[in-house]
Structure 1
Amino acid sequence: MKNNQTTVSEFILLGFTDIQKLQLLLFTIFLCSYLLTIMGNAVIITISHIDYRLHTPMYFFLQNFSFLEISFTTAIIPQTLAHLATGNKSISYVGCMVQCFLYFHLGTTKFFLLAVMSFDRYVAICNPLRYTSIMSHHLCLSLVLFCWVGSFLLIIGPLILFLQFPICDSNILDHFFCDNTPLLKLLCGDTWLLGFLGFITAALSLLGTLTITVVSYINIIKTVLRMPSATGRQKAFSTCASHFIVVSITYGSCIFLYIKPTQSGKLELGKMVAILNTVVSPLFNPFIYSLRNKQVQESLRDALGQLTAIAKRPRKN
């Protein structure tokens, strides 16, 4: 059993490497990815808001999804960039707890919203005549609210229990952000219940929403296969395939990291997989879900055309 309890005011995040050249390379990659993530998702939010043609349930959910992606990656990457740039790898205890809470709250909300988006696509393709009556504005708002509140209620219990445990004499976290796996290794006392609660929470949020998503897309594929138009089938399959890429990256990385009976395994591998969840997935999502969509491309062209026209107007003296 661990002992030597102490009051910890800050943690040291070991990150990836102490080699300066590699730190500079990682800083450049992370910064470029972060800026592209912010810009890509900001474009989706802006275009979906200003273009009345995109005022539909699907783009309402995509707006919220893009906001989630911006918030999720911002909770992790700026702090990582600061550590890589300055070499100062410390983070306060309060800052670490806040980061951990935001990471799991926003991440769990994202899984709930992915399930909601798959249900929306199911209704649109399998019940097109009833789509507008089923996916009312009130229902869309209620589903998004459920995602946020349900996620909070699911993770607040384990978080409160975690805060009851004292930290042992080490404050070194072998990670690039405050994840629960390295944090659990620093706690004093019997953490079996906390680890088990974390496993159950992850299983409910990940496997529960994944089941909804998979069932929805199975029914979508069945409906698509019955379509008489080859063009319609190709378009629907193209959309489904791109969505499955997002689902595979997002769910695959998190199931590997958190659906384990014990918190064993190599942390170095965990860091690499965490990059998929915190960097790669938020970067790809706006391009896979929206920017390759013809409606969004037309809206973007129209918006750019209007901006160009405004810029070319002669200024009055």
Structure 2
Amino acid sequence: MKKKCYFVNMSWNNDIKKFQSFLRIERGLSTNTVENYSYDIERLCLFLKENKIDVSPVNITEETCQEFIYHVSKEVNPRSQSRIISGLKSFFNYLIFEDLRVDNPLELIDSPKTGRKLPDTLSVEEIDKLIEAIDLTSNEGERNRAMIETLYGCGLRVSELITLKISDLFFEEGFIKITGKGNKQRFVPISDITQKYIHRYKESMRKDLNIQKGHEDTLFLNRRGRQLTRAMIFTIIKNLAMKLSFFKTISPHTLRHSFATHLLENGADLRSIQLMLGHESIITTEIYVHLDRKFLTEVLNNYHPRR
């Protein structure tokens, strides 16, 4: 649950609200991302209140920000600390943009080195086992199989899966329309086998649901006829992984990582993978190059003129 912030003065409240509007309207960020940015600023507000430091966003100093970062470093891991610093830098850069400040008090504060965490992936055999472990005799069996096939077959984020609409399915053309981060839309190819399992789900569980008003076009629904939550998708996949005794950290994102990794291993180029994943920068996609050193050796041996 998101913590409530007790602002030290109204100027923080006003500037944070304006910053939230800027992130939503001008940068097109999702509600979840805007809340994360806001929470980082609210932690700073709480620190100021607890230490009886009465300053506004306009006159807070570099020294005070350094004290806050030092305080935070004792409570969170380096990755979270890095995110907080990044969020606060964005906030103060916004104030500079609005001519409310002339400098960024976190300009000289470096983020801690976190290293590059390579994502967990599943092999093709493990993906098959995960899907085979689904109990198809249960009411939700066909739905769960269709969801996992869609996550893996299309490389979706969990938020993209739960908001997928029936009107976004263009099966005759072999594509689905995805609304990703910042409400950016992209078309992703969908295989015949994934289409088949979605059809089965629609003709079985979904057809018999009492679908609630406002959810008629939502593809994947819970037993009450409403959109599924992110937490529910995590729980479904976690339970399947426990059933199989997988000794890996498995989440919906693992299927997305596996999608990209398997495409790369089978010869797909990074630019195509970037478009399908909806990555704004190819730098984000390049993390998959680091997953399989053996694959890179094979590429060198097959394509370099000095092989």
TM-score by length of 2: 0.22
Considering fraction of residues, name the structure with more helix.
Answer: 1
Higher relative contact order (CA 8 A, sep 6+): 1
TM-score by length of 1: 0.22
